[in-house]
Amino acid sequence: MTVPVYDPLPEVEFLWSELEEAFRRVMRSGQYILGPEVEALEREAAAYLGVKHAIGVNSGTDALVIALRALGVGLGDEVITTPFTFFATAEAISLVGATPVFVDIDPRTFNLDPELIEPALTPRTKAILPVHLYGLPAEMDPILEIARAHGLKVLEDCAQAFGATYKGRKVGTLGDAGAFSFFPTKNLGGYGDGGLIATNDDGVADLARMLRAHGSRKKYHNEMVGYNSRLDALQAAFLRVKLRHVDAFNARRREVAASYHQFLQGVPGLALPPLVEGHVFHQYTVRILERRDRVAEALAREGVGTMVYYPVPLHRLPVYAHMGAALPEAERAAREVLSLPMGPFLSEEDLLRVADALRGVGQ
């Protein structure tokens, strides 16, 4: 691909001396799991987000699982969530013994449609799990209001939205807890797996810290069945480097999105994503109203990489298809979405090449 959908290497080059310094520090410290480096990342991430506690874990998936358990979600409970997300969102709900209840999306935002939540509530509903898909914050005010009215917990899936804001506040700090992923392609990504739980609740933080370390506060004094889900010191050190740049990187993503918006305005058969404040554009995802897969193939022939996030909505996957849900907006989105090359190091030249190619195949 002349313009790959995601290219990690320019960023590595840009950060090289800082990453090398972090590597030397950790390798010579002799401590490679948790420890002072992870504690420093947790302090710095908590300060950045404006939240009381940040807890480093092994992955975004584990952040969801551990946060759900710390919030008291378990066997027999139902959790309202979106079908238009990465599998891990629902998988985490199933892993704690609860059932995901899929509610359709708002076609303008690709996020949970708050209007559809109340009709889906049952006496077993325990929590709502909105996802800030592609870096665009979900409509949190009505979600929080419904949760308050019905005594439900709210866990935000922020895997694609580090630094995104909703009405001026960072996502991951609005509900009872937020789960972040540091998977390398995420907008704050490490160089391996990693994740983080954010919460203002002391009890939830305490449980999450226990659960990530085999359910123990004190080594060999396990109080519950937990996980081996500790963050590595090397990843924490690399993430501390990247945290210092995340605002600049997110700002550059927004600039790339604004340029796409300008160059792709008015192309027939194409619908552009909303350019709203607070969106960090983990992905720049358009809708191709007809024959999306043929457009993607034509772009690939021009050397332009694209991705479909996600081709099958979760309620249509073999794991969940038996639930028989019909969610037309999620199904339509799965047929139409196409994510274009995006990242803080995408050059203006490459961006123009993508826009030209898309205009070309649109005609």
Note the residues at the interface with ligand PLP (CB under 6 A): 59-61, 85-86, 88-89, 131, 157, 159-160, 181, 183, 193, 195
Residues 6 or more apart whose Cβ sits within 8 Å of residue 17: none
Tell me whether residue 125 or residue 181 sits nearer to ligand PLP (CB atom).
181
| CA-wise closest residue to 11 among 181, 189, 201, 215 | 189
Tell me whether residue 90 or residue 355 sits nearer to ligand PLP (CB atom).
90
Least Å distance between CB 151 and ligand PLP?
A: 25
Least Å distance between CB 193 and ligand PLP?
A: 6
Tell me whether residue 59 or residue 109 sits nearer to ligand PLP (CB atom).
59
Dist. CA 152–CA 157, nearest whole Å: 16
Tell me whether residue 86 or residue 249 sits nearer to ligand PLP (CB atom).
86
Least Å distance between CB 68 and ligand PLP?
A: 12
Neighbours of 344 (CB within 10 A): 20
Least Å distance between CB 63 and ligand PLP?
A: 7
Least Å distance between CB 347 and ligand PLP?
A: 25
Least Å distance between CB 224 and ligand PLP?
A: 22
Tell me whether residue 61 or residue 125 sits nearer to ligand PLP (CB atom).
61
Residue number, nearest CB to ligand PLP: 60
Tell me whether residue 270 or residue 281 sits nearer to ligand PLP (CB atom).
281
Least Å distance between CB 268 and ligand PLP?
A: 31
Tell me whether residue 333 or residue 351 sits nearer to ligand PLP (CB atom).
333
Least Å distance between CB 1 and ligand PLP?
A: 22
Tell me whether residue 3 or residue 88 sits nearer to ligand PLP (CB atom).
88
Secondary structure of the chain as H, E, C letters: CCECCCCCHHHHHHHHHHHHHHHHHHHHHCCCECHHHHHHHHHHHHHHHCCCEEEEECCHHHHHHHHHHHCCCCCCCEEEECCCCCCHHHHHHHHCCCEEEECCECCCCCCECHHHCHHHCCCCEEEEECECHHHCCCCHHHHHHHHHHHCCEEEEECCCCCCCEECCEECCCCCCEEEEECCCCCCCCCCCCCEEEEECCHHHHHHHHHHHECCECCCCCECCCCCECCCEHHHHHHHHHHHCCHHHHHHHHHHHHHHHHHHHCCCCCEECCCCCCCCCCCCEEEEECCCHHHHHHHHHHCCECCECCCCCCHHHCCCCHHHCCCCHHHHHHHHHEEEECCCCCCCHHHHHHHHHHHHHHHC
Tell me whether residue 187 or residue 306 sits nearer to ligand PLP (CB atom).
187
Least Å distance between CB 340 and ligand PLP?
A: 17
